[in-house]
């Protein structure tokens, strides 16, 4: 693999088959969530109103994010060509290349022959001009040497840092050339996932391309594997900083100045404040996450972990790095928007983290995380802050099992909680300590014994399927209705996942597909061909999101939802 392609976005996709519908038993459609957010609201209504968490992550950049989303797609087209475009002519390639080069930030910076950089160094961010002049043209050639074939766009994550915008795009299930391991003169075609990170900088009223890099394959996977293999109960594991291309863009001197003794002190002070959460179905692990004591006897973790467990597991177990198990009293409160949930234990633990002020974090400040990747021990990783706009974006690569782990500043204070929103890349996201402070302050005012909870079992029985694991393939749609509705988006041809449940009731078809490809890939990413076909058939996208999308024409409304390892498609006749 070319050196510039570093890391892994997910495990290589395996071959999938299209499964035929078979008659078995009908679905209780009343239990099918037509709105994931609606179900969450019902769950939240059951918690004590006094525990409602009101802090949110303000988004003052909604219009900018729309602009950058379109710019990301345009840049990707200019960089790689069109979807599945393996017969591009020379004239088309030439025009694409020229249009791509015109997006380079170096074209828009004033020159100054008297400076070492060759650019006017009185202009803010002039250094990006020099970087873009080298990287933008070279990386076009490197990407195109790999003959990357992609079918649709996956998730696009955008963060804003002053005049710099970072856009991370996932391209699921791409085909690309890879150097043959035994003969350097030959290439193999591999199927994998690719993540491209773009750096756009504002010059005047426009955003221009300053830098980009891609991630796929072996290097980051090897990094994670090494961490997992060396994680033990008995010794602190300090991971080396991941060597990504970002050192070309950022000053790592503050991080490099952080000593092993300082990191050891942070670890020793906090190791007993961190817990490992596992949820189980028939003694098989369903989900793993981290958490920490936000208050004495109260564990904070991610809502993502809690909801996945409610859907697929029978119970949750909590232990610390010393093997001590904690009996759970129940769930106290949650906020799906900020991806946090609070669990109360049966007894106090006399443990509690110290919160820091995330507002004081600046770009290039060092941050540390302590987490368990295997459930066996704890690993310490370090990186620098890339942006701090509600989410703290850092250069600490995380896996999905790291969600819920604390993010520390150099003084050992918790400045965030790591989320599952961006994992398996060299960049990760954490919720800021402003959100955590609301939780800590709220429960400082409530006596521990009087804190009300709802048991995991009660929440599961009331709002979630009793179990998803007994998945008998079922279909209650007549052949005539299926012939009619299957034309929508050519669903049989465009969604190549296992269809496990299908029902028809009152003009609505409900389809549930199981994502058996990889838990590293969101189910929504695997609906790209279906969504493209809907647009081709004249449907208008009226809602776009990573968890829910809605398409509509004058006859039908199509709702697409991602619920963990399932893709749900609802087709409603208007």
406-408 and 474-475 strand pairing: unpaired
**Sign of the CA dihedral with 170 first, then 172, 178, and 180 last:** positive
Q: List C-alpha distances in Å: 441 to 168, 196, 231, 294, 331.
A: 34, 40, 34, 10, 18
Q: Residues near 514 by Cβ (< 8 Å), separated by ≥ 6?
A: 471, 497, 498, 500, 565, 566
Judged against a pLDDT cut of 80, whether residue 521 lies above it is answered with no
- Asked whether the beta carbons of 129 and 156 are under 8 A apart, the reply is no
Most confident of 13-27, 297-311, 535-549: 297-311
Question: How is residue 436 written in tokens?
Answer: 């955590």
For residue 517, give both structure tokens. 């490809």
The number of CA neighbours under 13 Å toward the Cβ of 390 is 13
What value does the CA radius of gyration of the chain take, rounded to a whole number of Å? 25
Per-residue pLDDT at 59 exceeds 60: yes
Beta carbons of 513 and 566 less than 8 angstroms apart: yes
Judge contact between 563 and 507, C-beta under 8 A: no
Nearest-CA neighbor of 9 among 570, 522, 477, 535? 522
20 pLDDT more than 60: no
Residue 346 has pLDDT above 70, yes or no: yes
Is the full-model pTM beyond 0.85?
no
In 3D space, the residue among 309, 294, 350, 346 whose CA is nearest the CA of residue 325 turns out to be: 346
Distances (CA, A) of 513 to 25, 517, 547: 16, 11, 15
Task: Please tell me the predicted confidence (pLDDT) of residue 326.
Answer: 96
- Per-residue pLDDT band at 24 (split at 50, 70, 90): very low
Give residue 519's pLDDT. 55
Q: Facing residues of 191 across strands?
A: 175
pLDDT tens for each residue of 157-202: 888 877 889 998 888 878 888 888 788 788 888 888 888 999 999 9
For residue 564, pLDDT over 50 is answered with yes
For tokens 């000593």, what's the residue?
Answer: 259
Of residues 160, 211, 212, 168, the one with CA closest to residue 193 = 168
Q: Is the pLDDT of residue 511 over 80?
A: yes
Residues 6+ apart with CB under 8 A from 232: 376, 377
Quote the mean pLDDT of the chain.
82
Give the torsion through C-alpha atoms of 394, 397, 399, 403, to 10 deg: -20
547 SS3 class: coil
Looking at per-residue pLDDT, the higher value among 176 and 233 belongs to: 176
Alpha carbons 165 and 212: distance in angstroms, whole number: 12
Residues 546 and 563 sit within 8 Å (Cβ to Cβ): no
| Res. 125: pLDDT tops 90 | no
Tokens 């994010």 map to which residue?
65
CB 335 within 8 A of CB 303: yes
CB proximity list for 452: less than 8 A, separation 6 or greater: 48, 51, 332
Residue 300 near residue 341, CB atoms below 8 Å: yes
| Stretch (H or E) spanning 512 | strand 508-514
Distance CA 135, CA 266 (A): 37
- Site of tokens 């020159």: 111
In Å, how far from its chain's centre is CA 312? 20
Where do the domains of the chain lie, and which CATH numbers do they carry?
Answer: 62-216 (3.10.450), 222-463 (2.40.10.120), 471-573 (3.30.310)
Task: Look up tokens 């828009």; give the residue.
Answer: 108
According to the model, what pLDDT value does residue 313 have? 86
Report pLDDT for 446: 92
DSSP for residue 239: P
Strand 498-505 to strand 474-475: parallel, antiparallel, or no bridges (unpaired)? parallel
Closest CA to 305 of 278, 338, 269: 278
> What pLDDT does 237 receive?
62
Q: Is the pLDDT of residue 217 over 70?
A: no
Instruction: Over range 102-130, report the average pLDDT.
Output: 83
pLDDT at 308: 86
Q: Are 342 and 299 in contact (CB under 8 A)?
A: yes
Q: In whole angstroms, what is the distance from residue 5 CA to residue 533 CA?
A: 31
3-state SS, 280-310, equals: EECCEEEEEEEEEEEECCEEEECHHHHHHHH
State the chain's maximal CA–CA distance in angstroms: 78
At which residue do the structure tokens 């999101």 appear?
A: 545
Min mean pLDDT across 40-49, 128-137, 335-344, 437-446 is at: 40-49
Can you give the pLDDT at residue 329? Answer: 96
Digit-coded pLDDT (tens) for 269-302? 999 999 999 999 888 888 899 999 999 999 999 9
């Amino acid at each position: 693999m070319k050196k510039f392609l570093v890391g892994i976005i997910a495990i290589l996709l395996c071959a999938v088959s299209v499964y035929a519908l078979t008659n078995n038993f009908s679905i209780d459609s009343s239990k099918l969530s037509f709105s994931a957010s609606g179900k969450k609201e019902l769950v939240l209504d059951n918690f004590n109103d006094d525990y409602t968490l009101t802090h949110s992550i303000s988004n003052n950049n909604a219009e900018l994010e729309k602009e950058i989303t379109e710019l990301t797609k345009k840049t990707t087209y200019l960089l790689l060509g069109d979807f599945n475009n393996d017969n591009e002519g020379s004239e088309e390639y030439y025009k694409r290349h020229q249009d791509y080069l015109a997006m380079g930030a170096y074209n828009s910076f004033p020159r100054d022959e008297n400076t070492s950089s060759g650019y006017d160094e009185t202009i803010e961010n002039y250094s990006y001009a020099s970087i873009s002049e080298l990287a933008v043209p070279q990386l076009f050639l490197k990407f195109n040497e790999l003959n990357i074939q992609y079918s649709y766009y996956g998730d696009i994550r955008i963060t804003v840092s002053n005049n710099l915008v970072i856009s991370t795009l996932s391209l699921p299930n791409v085909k690309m050339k890879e150097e043959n391991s035994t003969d350097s003169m030959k290439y193999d075609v591999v199927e994998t996932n690719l993540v491209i990170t773009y750096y756009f900088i504002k010059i005047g009223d426009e955003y221009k391309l300053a830098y980009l890099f891609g991630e796929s394959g072996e290097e980051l996977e090897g990094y994670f594997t090494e961490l997992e293999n060396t994680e033990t109960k008995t010794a602190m594991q300090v991971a080396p900083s991941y060597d990504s291309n970002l050192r070309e863009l950022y000053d790592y001197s503050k991080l490099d100045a952080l000593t092993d003794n300082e990191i050891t002190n942070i670890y020793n002070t906090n190791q007993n404040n961190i817990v490992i959460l596992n949820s189980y179905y028939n003694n098989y692990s369903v989900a793993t996450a981290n958490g920490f004591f936000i208050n004495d006897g109260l564990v904070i973790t991610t809502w993502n972990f809690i909801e996945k467990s409610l859907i697929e597991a029978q119970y949750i177990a909590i232990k610390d790095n010393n093997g001590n198990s904690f009996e759970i009293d129940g769930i106290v409160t949650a906020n799906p928007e900020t991806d946090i949930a609070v669990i109360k234990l049966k007894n106090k633990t006399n443990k509690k983290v110290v919160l820091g002020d995330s507002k004081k974090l600046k770009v290039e400040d060092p941050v540390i995380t302590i987490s368990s990747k295997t459930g066996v021990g704890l690993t310490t990783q370090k990186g620098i802050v890339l942006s701090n706009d509600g989410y703290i974006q850092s250069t600490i690569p995380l896996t999905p099992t790291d969600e819920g782990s604390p993010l520390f500043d150099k003084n050992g204070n918790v400045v965030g909680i790591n989320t599952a929103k961006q994992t398996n890349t060299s960049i990760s996201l954490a919720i800021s300590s402003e959100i955590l402070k609301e939780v800590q302050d709220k429960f400082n005012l409530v006596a521990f014994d009087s804190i009300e909870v709802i048991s995991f079992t009660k929440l599961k029985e009331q709002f979630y399927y009793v179990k998803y694991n007994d998945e008998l393939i079922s279909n209650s749609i007549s052949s005539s209705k299926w012939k009619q509705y299957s034309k929508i988006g050519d669903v049989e041809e465009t969604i190549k996942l296992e269809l496990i449940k299908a029902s028809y009731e009152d003009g609505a078809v409900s389809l549930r597909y199981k994502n058996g490809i990889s838990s590293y890939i969101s189910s929504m990413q695997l609906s790209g061909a279906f969504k493209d076909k809907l647009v081709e058939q004249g449907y208008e996208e009226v809602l776009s999101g990573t968890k829910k999308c809605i398409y509509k024409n004058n006859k039908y409304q199509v709702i697409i939802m991602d619920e963990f390892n399932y893709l749900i498609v609802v087709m409603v006749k208007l």
